[in-house]
Chain A
């Protein structure tokens, strides 16, 4: 297991570790569309995880709304590429609800094709591993900060 890969929900750990190894990605987040992080790989600071999760959730929401206005089903994936890094964001449905995966990769080490290829495997593995009988838990404002702190502590091994 990569020392930099950590999960709040343990069933995500094995598929995520395999994805990181196979696709040679630098950073990954597995999160819900509301921005709750289930697992991360490659991040070294909690503030970066929070920022990336919030931004990814915002992108999922805005592209979802764009698709809705175009009377299309939600976009499956989004890819941006800069001179050195690529960015891949995709969502899929699982028994845990809709999940999003954000991956950042170095163009010297990986490629969009590789990330897409192994993302398909990751999504299939996460679907298969996701708990089947979870009742959606109501998030209360009073609990939110404590849960966020607990999650970040788990993600950074504190």
Chain B
């Protein structure tokens, strides 16, 4: 699993990547730069994923395949693996610099999601 995360962390501008249990909000595997609170990111990202799933179901859009939260000093990118959350799925999470190549990170997140789920 750690080697799967290499695919993401080797992209320039990625500060860390994690596999997170979608139901529990607990870190399954992580490669993070110092200063990133992995446990907190995992718990809150999983909580957000659950709420987003419900919002998207309510909106009739189906399940999300990728989300990107842009902030002033960075971004959070998440690909919910198949069946997640609600069925013991995995979230693939990346924490990045603000000027990262989002398309490339998204591609790698999707690849990792295919590999590990």
Chain A contact residues, CB within 8 Å of chain B: 81, 107, 110-114, 116-117
Chain B contact residues, CB within 8 Å of chain A: 20-21, 23-26, 39-40, 42-44, 46-47, 50
- Cα–Cα, bound, A110→B24 (Å): 9
- Cα–Cα, bound, A111→B21 (Å): 10
Please classify the interface of chain A as helix (H, G, I), strand (E, B), loop, or mixed, using the class held by over half of its residues: helix
- What residues of B have a CB within 8 angstroms of the CB of A107 in the complex? 23
- Cα–Cα, bound, A81→B25 (Å): 13
For A81, A111, A117, the residue with the greatest tally of chain B CB atoms inside 10 Å of its CB is A111
- What residues of A have a CB within 8 angstroms of the CB of B50 in the complex? 111
Let me know if B23 and A111 touch, CB within 8 A.
yes
Contact of A117 with B23 at beta-carbon distance under 8 Å, contacts A111-B46, A111-B47 already known: no
For A107, A110, A113, the residue with the greatest tally of chain B CB atoms inside 10 Å of its CB is A113
CB A110 to nearest CB in B, in angstroms, measures: 8
- Cα–Cα, bound, A110→B26 (Å): 12
Contact of A117 with B40 at beta-carbon distance under 8 Å, contacts A111-B46, A111-B47 already known: yes
- What residues of A have a CB within 8 angstroms of the CB of B46 in the complex? 111, 113-114
- Cα–Cα, bound, A112→B43 (Å): 8
- What residues of B have a CB within 8 angstroms of the CB of A114 in the complex? 25, 43-44, 46-47
CB A118 to nearest CB in B, in angstroms, measures: 8
- 6 closest Cβ contacts across the A-B interface? A113-B25, A113-B43, A111-B25, A117-B43, A112-B24, A114-B43
- What residues of A have a CB within 8 angstroms of the CB of B25 in the complex? 111-114, 117
- What residues of A have a CB within 8 angstroms of the CB of B21 in the complex? 113
- Cα–Cα, bound, A113→B19 (Å): 13
Let me know if A111 and B24 touch, CB within 8 A.
yes
- What residues of B have a CB within 8 angstroms of the CB of A113 in the complex? 20-21, 24-26, 39, 42-43, 46-47
- What residues of B have a CB within 8 angstroms of the CB of A116 in the complex? 26, 39, 43
- Cα–Cα, bound, A116→B46 (Å): 13
- Specify the chain B residue showing the minimal Cβ separation from A114: B43
- Cα–Cα, bound, A117→B45 (Å): 12
- What residues of A have a CB within 8 angstroms of the CB of B24 in the complex? 81, 111-113
CB B8 to nearest CB in A, in angstroms, measures: 20
- Cα–Cα, bound, A116→B37 (Å): 13
CB B23 to nearest CB in A, in angstroms, measures: 7
- Cα–Cα, bound, A116→B39 (Å): 9
